[in-house]
Amino acid sequence: RCENLVEVYFQLQQQVMAASTELGPELLARLLERFNEVLSSLVKSSFLVEKQPPQVLKTQTKFQASVRFLLGPRLLKAAPKPYMVRADMVTEKQARELELSNYSNTLSESTGEILHNTVALETNPTSGNCCANFKNVLLKKIKRCERKGSESVTEEKCAVLFSTNVTLTPSNISIHLQVLSLPIVVIVHGNQDNNAKATVLWDNAFSDIDRVPFVVAERVPWDKMCDTLNLKFMAEVQTNKGLLKEHYFFLAQKIFNDHSASPEDFQSRHVSWAQFNKEILPGRGFTFWQWFDGVLDLTKRCLKSYWSDRWV
């Protein structure tokens, strides 16, 4: 638990201070500096996104999000006026730079204006949670990055950066807190929803935990793709009957446009992002994902109860 760490920290600090005369002044200074670093990093990592903004975010449409400062109740006890948390849209590039600077940089300009983007960081007296609750936020407009070649806007990932400045109560240290949301695809119309969902699904399923924002593999093993589609299917249709081997085989034939290979052949193949949601299926006017998402939707709306036996 985070609070315990702070307690340990303060106890340690007190012990050191008590022993300060016994330590040489030089050693003491070094120790104190180290203390500050530890505290700062501890505090920073206790500033979290509690409720993520929607990963497919439509402009001019209200959404919600919240951040939580775990150490708030412990370290901000007597705040005279509440600290304000800002929410700003940042590009993937900006997110990367922030991450690389270990969140010590400060944001120069956002890539989209968010309405009502400053909210007080308040400690709820009953639950004791220190949160900033963005209830009425709305992305007014998005500034697209220049994108190369065949990249579409629905492949562009942004994020919301939450940031604030707090002054810790006992030690009087001022700290700049920043945290990024999960990647977000911004759309301006419902007709972009499909493609945006594809980008988000791919990212959520195939990105490493500790990646540089927001790199993700361009091709992945087919069986991982199957797992992902299966999870998506069950979540979307609200069923506990998953996809079966035959289904995977059918999907594989479809996405690889290969009707001669055996199920085992497909097992070891890799599927690319392009195959997933860029290339048009031969003879059809849509990509693999667009088709799959359509099937999801149909199944969800019409066939839910019949889905225990077969399909297609």
Partner DNA sequence: TCGTTTTCCGGGAAGGCAA
Partner DNA sequence: TTGCCTTCCCGGAAAACGA
Q: Kindly list the residues in this chain that would bind DNA in the complex (CB under 7 A).
A: 58-59, 61-62, 141-142, 144, 152-154, 187-192
Q: Are 179 and 67 in contact (CB under 8 A)?
A: yes
Q: Are 271 and 220 in contact (CB under 8 A)?
A: yes
Residue 56 or 179: the one with the smaller Cβ distance to DNA is: 56
DSSP assignment of 26-91: HHHHHHHHHHHHHHHHHHHTTEEEEEPPPSEEETTSEEEEEEEETTHHHH-TT-SSPEEEEEEEEE
Residues 6+ apart with CB under 8 A from 214: 92, 95, 96, 157, 159, 183, 203, 207
Residue 93 or 270: the one with the smaller Cβ distance to DNA is: 93
In this structure, the chain runs to a length of: 312
Residue 61 or 167: the one with the smaller Cβ distance to DNA is: 61
Angle at 173 between CA 172 and CA 175, to 5 degrees: 135
Residue 108 or 150: the one with the smaller Cβ distance to DNA is: 150
Tokens 């791919």 appear where?
202
Q: Are 157 and 96 in contact (CB under 8 A)?
A: no
Minimum Å distance from CB 95 to DNA? 19
Residue 301 or 310: the one with the smaller Cβ distance to DNA is: 301
Angle at 294 between CA 289 and CA 298, to 5 degrees: 150
Residue 140 or 241: the one with the smaller Cβ distance to DNA is: 140
